[in-house]
Amino acid sequence: MATLDLFNTLSGTVQPLSAVGAPELRMYCCGPTVYDYGHIGNFRTFLHVDVLRRFLRQQGVAIRYVMNITDVDDKIIRNAASAGLPIAEYARPFETAFFEDLEALGIERPEIIARATECIPEMVALVEQLAAKEFAYQAEDGSWYFRVARDEDYGKLAKKDLDQIEDGARIESGEFNKDAVRDFALWKAVKALPDGSKEASWQTPLGDGRPGWHLECSAMASKFLGDTFDLHAGGEDLMFPHHENEIAQSESATGKLFARHWMHVRFLLVEGKKMSKSEGNFYTLRDLLLRGHRVSALRFLLISVPYRHQLNFTFEDLAASANAIDRLRTFHKRMVKGADPKSIAPFAEGINPAIEEGTTQAAELYTAALANDLNTAEARAAIFDLVRAANTATDQGTLLRGNAVQILAVLDLFDGVFAVLKDRDAELTRAALVWAEKENRLNEADPALLETLAFSDAEIDALVAERTLAKKQRNFARADAIRNDLLGKGILLEDAKDGVRWKRK
């Protein structure tokens, strides 16, 4: 039985994904161009790759995952120039922010992270290899281009017909000296910036210049994963021309298959429209945190819709995801208490076989759903079915301690991929506020959020204790006043049999 059946863009079918000829599954994902903060669309892609990676590891597959950081490109050069900074100085803070965001979202760090600017020799070598085979040529201005016409199977990933590409293509200024419009830049000869100074460049045997965008991924993937590797992932927009060009470069140079499997994550819409700055529906993770949304809710929402489907992001659904997570966390705590013989009210000893069967079935459905092209929606449903059944049984007193232990194991399995049960939300929101203060953007923060977080846990605990005392004295007016006051500040109290619970909304 296959560990994971995954849609392969190259073949157009769902195929088993597996490590071939190596103990580790070797995968590559196109990382960010670090010219700004990451937005929720960027993170949808990285989150789904994280789901893939976590699930494979759960299935016992070892992984070697490489992500590149594009730290030199047109936008970085342009923005750095207008900020009056060297490109590295301009880009580095965004790179740091990107990794902070990944961490906050629970996205595991790839084994290898490679910066484009640190792999220049490998890129140069690749162009030289291509030139030797006449796939690359140097134009009058000193730039190097890939000769698409010489690559017979060009277009095989995106299923493009070459004639169409030519029809739609347009000649960019500065690239007029290419032999054919569809030829793409491998190495861009150095140019002057608007202020007359020289843009960032490297002195190489190819001339003074900088790498083209597609070149870095080809060079880095080979450097760290070999000429042929198992999986290449990225957003759907990268399929053409970026990934197609990577294939063209790598396969023309090596004569070998580049990536066996290609995974493309679909774009998301925001409130029914394409996310864009001009529509005013463009959000970075940090924007959402300052508005009082929780990181866990965003993670859960973005991964709950399977990667091949368009997801329509709305604030209503973000709130719904937060509520769904609360339910899961409440349930998880209930099972932890019931399973612990030392807790105040552990469940009765034993195992109820009917519940045991349901638990096993939930785990099987969950695994089968993810193994089927990462159907996260169905995997989620299997877990919620278990939650409902277990809650009902608990209410009826038929769920025994052994069942709780088994259910916790299934929740661990679920959380190994979804990673939303552990509550770090308040902590991460606080970190975002610290960042906002440093960046002078605290004015963008939701006032209610600031008020809620201003309350320390100790202060809340003190008020809860005061209310418990008032309740004992049957002073319900005072008790309710404290509860309502806290609720107004975003803190919700729950009176349970074994004491008072509270949580930040």
Partner RNA sequence: GCACCGAUGGCGAAGUGGCUAACGCGCUGGUCUGCAAAACCAGUAUUCAUGGGUUCAAAUCCCAUUCGGUGCUCCA
Site for RNA in 217-256 (CB under 7 A): 234-242
Q: Of 24 and 236, which CB lies nearer to RNA in the complex structure?
A: 236
For tokens 């924007």, the residue is 287
Question: Which residues have C-beta within 8 Å of that of residue 78, sequence separation ≥ 6?
Answer: none
CB of 384 to RNA, least distance (A): 3
When asked if residue 384 is in the footprint of RNA (CB under 7 A), the reply is yes
Place of tokens 């705590």: 333
Interface residue with RNA among 173, 395, 443, 456 (CB under 7 A) is 395
Residue 342 or residue 472: which is nearer to RNA going by CB? 472
CB 329 within 8 A of CB 300: no
Q: Which residue has the tokens 């806290």?
A: 486
- Collect all residues with Cβ–Cβ distance below 8 Å to 267 and sequence separation of at least 6: 41, 44, 235, 236, 237, 274, 310
Q: Which stretch binds RNA (CB under 7 A): 83-91, 302-310, 351-359, 427-435?
A: 302-310
Q: Which is nearer to RNA, 120 or 238 (CB)?
A: 238
**Between residues 17 and 67, which has the closer beta carbon with respect to RNA?**
67
Give the shortest CB-242-to-RNA separation in angstroms: 5
d(CA 501, CA 329): 12
Q: Which one among 107, 268, 362, 410 touches RNA, defined by CB under 7 A? A: 268
Question: Residue holding tokens 């032999």?
Answer: 179
Question: Which residues in the 303-362 window bind RNA by CB under 7 A?
Answer: 304-306, 309-312, 314, 316-317, 319-321, 323-324, 326-327, 330-331
Q: How far apart are CA 180 and CA 138, in angstroms?
A: 13
| Cα dihedral 343/346/351/354 (nearest 10) | -120
Q: How far is the CB of 312 from RNA (least distance, A)?
A: 5
Whichever of 157 and 253 has its CB closer to RNA, that residue is 157
| Nearest-approach distance from CB 185 to RNA, in angstroms | 9
Q: What value does the CA radius of gyration of the chain take, rounded to a whole number of Å?
A: 27
Under 8 Å CB-to-CB from 173, ≥6 apart: which residues? none
* Residue closer to RNA, measured from CB, 26 or 214: 214
Number of residues forming the site for RNA (CB under 7 A): 81
Q: Is 274 helix (H, G, I), strand (E, B) or coil?
A: strand
Interface with RNA by CB under 7 A: which range of 222-230, 289-297, 299-307, 438-446? 299-307
| Single residue of 23, 272, 341, 397 touching RNA by CB under 7 A | 272
CB 111, CB 66: distance < 8 Å: yes
Q: Output the smallest distance, CB 479 to RNA, in A.
A: 5
Question: Which of the ranges 82-90, 125-133, 265-273, 457-465 carries the binding residues for RNA, by CB under 7 A?
Answer: 265-273
Taking residues 112 to 151 in sequence order and writing x for each that binds RNA by CB under 7 A, - otherwise, the string is: ----------------------------------------
Residue 472 touches RNA, criterion: CB under 7 A: no
Residue closer to RNA, measured from CB, 134 or 466? 466
* CA–CA gap between residue 425 and residue 167 (Å, rounded): 50
Q: Which is nearer to RNA, 298 or 445 (CB)?
A: 298
Cis geometry, peptide bond prior to residue 353 (ω within 30 degrees of 0): no
Question: Which residues are CB-neighbours of 47 under 8 A, at least 6 positions away?
Answer: 105, 107, 299, 302, 303
* Contact status: 108 vs RNA (CB under 7 A): no
Q: Does 375 bind RNA (CB under 7 A)?
A: yes
Among 3, 8, 33, 117, binds RNA (CB under 7 A): 33
Nearest to RNA of 211, 234 (CB atom): 234
Largest CA distance in the chain: 90
Q: Which two tokens stand for residue 247?
A: 């294939």
Residue number with CB closer to RNA (32 or 110): 32
Please state the closest distance from residue 275 (CB atom) to RNA, in A: 5
Site for RNA in 39-78 (CB under 7 A): 39, 41-42, 44-45, 73-75
CB of 433 to RNA, least distance (A): 25
Instruction: Please report where in the chains the tokens 């789901």 appear, as a residue.
Output: 51
Closer of 362 and 433 to RNA (Cβ): 362
Q: Which is nearer to RNA, 58 or 398 (CB)?
A: 398
- Give 440's DSSP letter: T
Please write down the HEC assignment for all residues of 190-247: CCECCCCCECCCEEECCEEEEECHHHHHHHHHHHHHCCCEEEEEEEHHHHHHHHHHHH
Contacts with RNA, 147-176, as mask; x by CB under 7 A? -----------xx----xx-xxxx-x----
Give least dist CB 196 to RNA, A: 25
Q: What does the block give as tokens for 206?
A: 């190819």
Residue 252, H or E segment: helix 244-254
**Contact positions with RNA (CB under 7 A) in 407-466:** none
Contacts 24+ apart (CB under 8 A), 167-171: none
Using rule CB under 7 A, residue 281 touches RNA: no
Strand partners, 235: 265
Q: What is the distance between the alpha carbons of residues 460 and 287, in angstroms, rounded to a whole number?
A: 27
The SS3 call for residue 117 is: helix
